[in-house]
Structure 1
Amino acid sequence: MTLSVVVGLGRSGIGAARLLKALGSEVLILEKAENDACRQKAADLRQQGIDVQLGQPLEISSFEPWLNQINQVVISPGISWTHPTLEALRTHGVPVRGEMALAWESLRESPWIGITGTNGKTTVTHLLHHVLSHGGLKAPMAGNVGYSAAELALGCLEGSTPVPDWVVMEMSSYQIEAATKVAPRIGIWTTLTPDHLERHGSLDAYRAIKRGLLERSQLAILNRDDPEIRGTHSSWGQKRVSWVSTGREYSDTATARLRVSDDGWVYEGKQRLFCSDALAMPGAHNQQNMLLVTAAALEAGLRPETIESALRCFDGVPHRLESLGTIQGIAVFNDSKATNYDAAAVGLQSVPNPAVLLAGGQTKQGNAEVWLQLLKERSSAVVLFGAGADELRGLIEASAFPGAVVTHQGLDDAVPHALELARQQQAASLLLSPACASFDQYSDFEARGNHFRELIEASQST
């Protein structure tokens, strides 16, 4: 007997296990935790014929009882690709791959659009899914958003999800490095700034992982406005590449397939497509996102007027500069998705100023210089919370920020204080843009954003 072992009882792990079972494999899930929630999940999965062993840390000893039977180990994105236990399994000749690689084998008959980038990929994924669906195409989104990749593959296998015309897949560096055979029909690269360096070790390694996906794509759609991506311009050789740009410089279609011109229109080459205000979301970065999506939608066969119509009815992305209305004339924005300094800088640039900023959580490595400068230019006060509050406070005070800086343990206390400061200072906006990961207090950035939304809704109703 051969055995597929899945590590972890998270959403992607459960999806991978159920997909493997549906494909006829014997499946075992190993989970390090052993609590009531895990016991309930394990009981449900055992009823489906999937064995689950709780209290099994990611150590080679956890695999040894089955080592001679294992034909593959499937990991979730949260597990480092170079974890010592995975290296030990490889030494024993056991193939290790990510949940995304498993999904690729089941879904590769449908063309993929693989979307990656440090920032912007979630917005592009949501927007592209919306545009393609508006155009009458079956284009489910998965990966970091919507379904997990394996859940989508399972739905298609079982018939509960129609066979996609296009698979719109958001792919993080964690997912790409564990799925090196994924070769999309279209690849989109939104931005590149230092992130996840504590895992990948260097910007060069991080860049190489992202670029690998684009090199395997039949068409690479690239953001020429991003300095790091623009720097690769001469290195693509005979690769089929489409560049997009919101810049006003323009020479020929080989330089930028799509551009925003001085007359306020989006052009493809010399052809005028639609007004550049078709997407209502604020910020120059969202103009870039619009062009990336438009290039992919044109490649998928949609007409410009269909794309424009879809852009005009897009409601935005939860937790990414999501408008939560106003409180006493103060515009409130939920930007919980901003988990690093660069994303948080975009948030500050995009909302009305002066803004009272809520920031904090689990800090990351990165260059905070631009963020700190924008704080001085666009923020009247900063309210910090979570595990990284003291570290952020030190950075902000060292930058000679002139406004108030206060700290709280969590959002329950931070939000009322931030609202009071915004009222006192007659701020134009209140912005949650944490510049940090959420894992110190929340399961993910969505849980953090939902908590913020609940607190704001309670304030609006009083």
Structure 2
Amino acid sequence: MKSSVVVGLGRSGVGAAKLLHSQGHQVTVLESQSKDSANASALRQLGVDVRLGCPLIPDPFASWTDPLDQVVISPGIPWDHPTLGSLRQQDIAVCGEMAVAWDALSHRPWIGITGTNGKTTVTHLLQHVLSHAGLQAPMAGNVGHSAAELALACSSGHLPQPDWIVMEMSSYQIEAAQQVAPRIGIWTTLTPDHLERHGTLDAYRAIKHGLLARSEQAVLNADDPDLCRHHHQWPAATWVSTSPTPPVPCTLWIDPEQWVCSREQRLFPADALPLPGNHNRQNMLLVTAAALHAGLPPSAIEAALRCFSGVPHRLEPLGLVKGMRVYNDSKATNYDAAAVGLRAVAAPAVVLAGGQTKQGDASEWLSLLKERAAAVVLFGHGARELKTLIAGASFDGQVALVDTLDAAVKEALALSSGQPAQALLLSPACASFDQYSNFEERGEHFRQLINAAQRAS
């Protein structure tokens, strides 16, 4: 019997533990928190050994006496953690939950989707397009199921065998699953992100490059400056561009008459996707390229695009408040994503930003604030840091500083009364972990606050 240790009781850890247990492994789960939980109880009922209060520092494996075949880590654990290095020196395999899922599902074709921004929309949209065409195409990874949950559901018969697996993959997940080799790989964008983890942009880029290099067919966004600069590395890739005169030779582009074109023909009008912003046209082209590689005809792709309603928490429209169109863009967890949101909504906007700040280049976001924002309300742990950035950019609108999102919404509605704002935009430019478990929880809270404001008005 193989022996596996899973580190972490989050969603990916629980999924990995259940999958490995179903495969006959002897599974032990280590969790740094001491508080018992429903996840721990559920695993114990299956016969999984759960040990609470076991962080990786000091090394919990130093006095480990049982034979050990592999250690499976959650995405939040750095790949270069000293304890993991010690395990590797002992020839103990270390991998992430995504690798465990790949071992169980590699017999089905994967579409691996990565990128700094855009990957969640591309994942949802591609899953929608494939499913609308009648294919079994579950999505997993950073969205939907965890990868291991999906593998368990497929292997147990709770889900039909997939025609395609649509997998959103972060740099953390790719780094710990270097055997994953998708049938189709999609790279949406590349801008500095997660540098506090990966150290340099080159290291971050190399991780994503590895996934695409292992893919049978690579699909890349020629409108992204960083990807375009490295186009010589991808002579056999499928490139897409929203420009009628693409910067590199492309397979798909949008012509001056606003049609999506391939090398052979016009496919369908570029307004088939009812979402705002040029970034969504890039997403549409990436999805179209992948769907064509998956064997769908253009007519099926167009029909699916026309009935796509968007992704929760990514420029999600929430209706009107005080004459302003409200957008939940909680998924914008860095400056580049927040800049995309600002560019997409009507100006002038009242912007809500804040949370746990990240390293990155804020210059474009700051420039767009000056052009398109009437006021900015900052909240959370990074509010003062953002205020200093905005002051240094000579923003001439109002800037308010509050502690919480509740207070930010109240302040934004008060500020909007004194000026003609067209949009109210939650686009934090920060991670959510200072006050929320994830960006979804932050977005749901914002939705509740807006619903309450709509009822009161």
Task: State the TM-score, normalizing by the size of structure 1.
Answer: 0.97
Matched, 1:274 2:272: no
Q: Which residue of 2 aligns with 1:129?
A: 127
Report the alpha carbon displacement of residue 43 of structure 1 after superposing the two structures with TM: 2.0
SS at match of 1:372: helix
Q: Which residue of 2 aligns with 1:96?
A: 94
Q: Distance in 1 between matches of 2:346 and 2:234?
A: 39
Report the alpha carbon displacement of residue 60 of structure 1 after superposing the two structures with TM: 5.4
Report the alpha carbon displacement of residue 2 of structure 1 after superposing the two structures with TM: 4.1
Q: Distance in 2 between matches of 1:377 and 1:323?
A: 22
AA aligned to 2:175 is E
Report the alpha carbon displacement of residue 424 of structure 1 after superposing the two structures with TM: 2.0
Q: Is the 8 A contact 1:246 1:288 kept in 2?
A: yes
Q: Which residue of 2 aligns with 1:29?
A: 29
AA aligned to 1:340 is N
Q: Distance in 1 between matches of 2:401 and 2:48?
A: 46
Deviates more, 1:263-272 or 1:195-204: 263-272
AA aligned to 2:232 is S
Q: Which residue of 2 aligns with 1:316?
A: 310
Q: Which residue of 1 aligns with 2:178?
A: 180
Unaligned runs of 5+ in 2: none
Q: Is the 8 A contact 2:2 2:24 kept in 1?
A: no
Report the alpha carbon displacement of residue 126 of structure 1 after superposing the two structures with TM: 0.2
Q: Distance in 2 between matches of 1:155 and 1:30?
A: 24
Q: Is the 8 A contact 2:181 2:214 kept in 1?
A: yes
Between the two proteins, the alignment pairs up a number of residues equal to 456
Q: Which residue of 1 aligns with 2:43?
A: 45
Q: Distance in 2 between matches of 1:433 and 1:369?
A: 16
Q: Is the 8 A contact 2:222 2:246 kept in 1?
A: no
How has the CA–CA distance of structure 1 residues 32 and 250 changed in structure 2, closer, same or farther, with 3 Å as cutoff?
closer
* RMSD of equivalent CA atoms: 1.2
Matched, 1:454 2:448: yes
Q: Is the 8 A contact 2:59 2:83 kept in 1?
A: no
Q: Distance in 2 between matches of 1:385 and 1:331?
A: 21
Q: For 1:328, which of 302, 322, 345 is the aligned residue?
A: 322
Report Cα offsets for 1:60-92 as digits up to 9, x if no partner: 542244354111000111111011111111122
Q: For 1:119, which of 117, 120, 132 is the aligned residue?
A: 117
Q: Is the 8 A contact 2:195 2:359 kept in 1?
A: yes
SS at match of 1:325: strand
AA aligned to 1:78 is G
Q: Which residue of 1 aligns with 2:239?
A: 243
SS at match of 1:56: coil
AA aligned to 2:291 is A
Q: Distance in 2 between matches of 1:233 and 1:289?
A: 19
1:273-292 to 2 correspondences below 5 Å: 273-292=267-286
SS at match of 2:387: helix
Q: Distance in 1 between matches of 2:417 and 2:104?
A: 54
Q: Distance in 2 between matches of 1:152 and 1:328?
A: 43
AA aligned to 1:342 is D
AA aligned to 2:252 is L
1:184-333 to 2 correspondences below 5 Å: 184-237=182-235, 240-250=236-246, 255-333=249-327
Report Cα offsets for 1:209-265 as digits up to 9, x if no partner: 00100000000000000010011111224xx310000012159xx811100010010
Task: State the TM-score, normalizing by the size of structure 2.
Answer: 0.98
Report the alpha carbon displacement of residue 59 of structure 1 after superposing the two structures with TM: 2.7
How has the CA–CA distance of structure 1 residues 78 and 61 changed in structure 2, closer, same or farther, with 3 Å as cutoff?
closer
Deviates more, 1:130-139 or 1:254-263: 254-263
SS at match of 1:339: coil
1:166-177 to 2 correspondences below 5 Å: 166-177=164-175
Which aligned runs of 4 or more in structure 1 are off by greater than 4 angstroms? none
Matched, 1:14 2:10: no
Deviates more, 1:40-49 or 1:308-317: 40-49
How has the CA–CA distance of structure 1 residues 341 and 165 changed in structure 2, closer, same or farther, with 3 Å as cutoff?
same
SS at match of 2:27: strand
AA aligned to 1:123 is T
Q: Is the 8 A contact 1:60 1:89 kept in 2?
A: no
Report the alpha carbon displacement of residue 270 of structure 1 after superposing the two structures with TM: 3.8
Identical residues among aligned pairs (%): 64
SS at match of 2:61: helix
1:415-426 to 2 correspondences below 5 Å: 415-426=409-420
Q: Is the 8 A contact 1:141 1:169 kept in 2?
A: yes
Unaligned runs of 5+ in 1: none
